[in-house]
Each structure stands twice: as C-alpha cells, then as structure tokens.
Amino acid sequence: MGIVVVGTVAYDSIETPFGKVEETLGGSALYFTVAASFFTRVGIVAVIGEDFDLGKISFLKDRNVSFDGLYVEKGKTFRWKGYYSYNLNEAHTLDTQLNVLENFDPILPEEFTRKDLLFLANIDPELQLKVLDQMKNVKFSAADTMNFWIDSKKEKVMEVFSRVNAVTINEGEIRELTEEYNLVKAARKILDIGPEHVIIKRGEYGVLVFEKSGEVFFVPAYPLEKVFDPTGAGDTFAGGFMGFLDSQGEIKRNLRKAVIYGSVLASYNVEKFSFLKLLEISRQDIDERYREFLNFCRVE
C-alpha cells in the first residue's frame, strides 16, 4: 500500500469571474496529496523554497503524508499566476516563475521506492522519468502532463506515457499531443503506445475513459451552481482516483469506482480557491456525493 507522487508545490495567484487570490497554496503534487490523503498514505516528492511556510501544510502529517521527499532548497518556491474567464474550462497563464524548480533533482527516499502506486503529476517529463526509474515494484502507475511540456518536450511526454498503466490528460491536450481532433482516435494513439487506460478530463463535461480492451466509461461532472475556481481540479481528480484505488487493493475491479471518487473530489475542489474546500469535508461527505454520482446515470 501507499502512493508516491512527484509534481509541483506552488504559490498560485488566481483570478476568476468570482474572485481573486494572491499566493495561495497550489501545485500539482500538493492538490494530489490533499485529495489522496482521504484514502491512503501518500509520500510527496517535490521541492519548495526557503520562503515556503511548512506550517500551512502540516495538517497533512496528521493524515499520514510523508514529507521525506519534500526538499527545501535555497531560493523561492515555484509560482504560477493565471486567470479564467466565464469559460472556466481554460486557464490563461499570466506568469510562471520556476525558481527552485529549475534545478530540482527528485531523489526518492528508499522507503518511497517500494510503494505500490505511483502518480507522475504535471512536471517536467524528464523528472517524471527519473522518478519512474527509481521505483522498484510499482503495481499501478499513472501520469499527467500539460500543454507546456507537449510543446517543448513531446517525445519525453510520450516516453512517460508509454511506461505507465494510465494516462490522465485534458481534452485539449490529448488533441494537441496526438494531432487528432476526434477523441476516439486520439485515445487509441495513446493506448497503442502502452497504457491500459486513457482518462480524458473534460472540465464541466466530466471524464471519459478509454480502455485498451475497447470499453468506454463516462462520468459526468457534478452539476454545481458555481464553479468558483477550477485550478487543481485535474490533480485533485487524480488524487481521489489513485487514493481510492490504493485503499481497495485490487485495481481492475475498482477502476470505474475510482474514476467516480476522483470526480467527487474534483467537484468539491472547484467550490473554493486552492484546496480550501477539501479541508471542510469528511470521508462521509465524499461517500454521500459518490452515491449522488451513481444516481446521475441510473436508468431505473
């Protein structure tokens, strides 16, 4: 049991049609960890600067998150600044400051290398590969990316994807990566290079999973009256997905349930800035919303 995640820990500045926030907690590995920690033990692999206030994430220790792979380096923490217009499906980047991320070399604590599950959250694909190489006996691995890496290191992204069990990717990103507008064809191009599951994230349209077996699975997005801030929704989805999978042990039989749990976590996360909403909910809330999701597609 246990999950290793590598990705970013960041200070985000975000503007949406509903509000604005400066230097709030974010980053792909942090969102993932907060979500997954509802279900299982997580070891986070990331780098932060000396300016990072560790007290703000100390609650994760009570949830059995290991910080042994969280490195504090000289310099400032990674920063992202962006905004969303009413079409909340698309983030617009205003500024990216890599800072300590520039020289990050993710060395895994020995204990991490023997974990069952691995999530390669959005970060330089060369770092994702370095982490993958250190793992000794992974039972189930998944990877995410973003358009920035597809533009600059497409082959490395494909190499990562060829070596994991599942890929989680945005609708626009898989179209760009495969140069294929149709999602059935785009997903097949990814399935052909290795993974058994291609999980396409479509924001307010939910999640679409293509299986190597030819099966297709859909989960709608939770119909919210207000999507306040979509930042981190994809990483939160992945955290719920992988966290639930790890808590159940058997992968195949639980994969579809896990996709719904991921959707539940993501639906909470977009209700407030950062992962603030996730700090207000309990495992019971999550299970209740899971049952609501089942009802959305119930026929009789």
Question: Which residues would be at the binding site for a second copy (CB under 8 A)?
Answer: 86, 181-185, 202, 204-206, 208, 210, 215-220, 223-227, 253, 256-257, 260, 294-300
Task: Give the integer Cα–Cα distance in Å for 255 and 277.
Answer: 25
Name the 3-class secondary structure at 153. Answer: coil
Task: Give the integer Cα–Cα distance in Å for 209 and 167.
Answer: 10
Q: How far is the CB of 225 from a second copy (least distance, A)?
A: 5
Closer Cβ to a second copy, 36 or 183, answer by number: 183
Closer Cβ to a second copy, 156 or 175, answer by number: 175
Closer Cβ to a second copy, 59 or 296, answer by number: 296
Closer Cβ to a second copy, 45 or 255, answer by number: 255
Task: Give the integer Cα–Cα distance in Å for 199 and 173.
Answer: 12
- Cβ 194 vs Cβ 164: under 8 Å: yes
- Cβ 231 vs Cβ 10: under 8 Å: no
Please give the angle made by the CA atoms of 36, 41 and 44, to the nearest 5 degrees. Answer: 75
Question: CA of 202: how far to CAs of 175, 255, 263, in Å?
Answer: 12, 18, 11
Q: How far is the CB of 189 from a second copy (least distance, A)?
A: 12
Name the 3-class secondary structure at 82. Answer: strand
Task: Give the integer Cα–Cα distance in Å for 183 and 187.
Answer: 6
Q: How far is the CB of 230 from a second copy (least distance, A)?
A: 13
Residue 269 corresponds to which tokens in the numbers above?
């996360």
Q: How far is the CB of 21 from a second copy (least distance, A)?
A: 21
Closer Cβ to a second copy, 48 or 207, answer by number: 207
Closer Cβ to a second copy, 48 or 264, answer by number: 264
Q: How far is the CB of 201 from a second copy (least distance, A)?
A: 13
Q: How far is the CB of 253 from a second copy (least distance, A)?
A: 7
Closer Cβ to a second copy, 107 or 184, answer by number: 184
Q: How far is the CB of 134 from a second copy (least distance, A)?
A: 35
Number of C-beta neighbours around residue 268 at 10 A: 22
Task: Give the integer Cα–Cα distance in Å for 11 and 245.
Answer: 29
Element (H, E) at 167: strand 166-170
Q: How far is the CB of 15 from a second copy (least distance, A)?
A: 17
Reported as half-sphere exposure (CB side, CA atoms, 13 A), residue 282 has a value of: 3
Closer Cβ to a second copy, 27 or 206, answer by number: 206
Task: Give the integer Cα–Cα distance in Å for 218 and 210.
Answer: 9
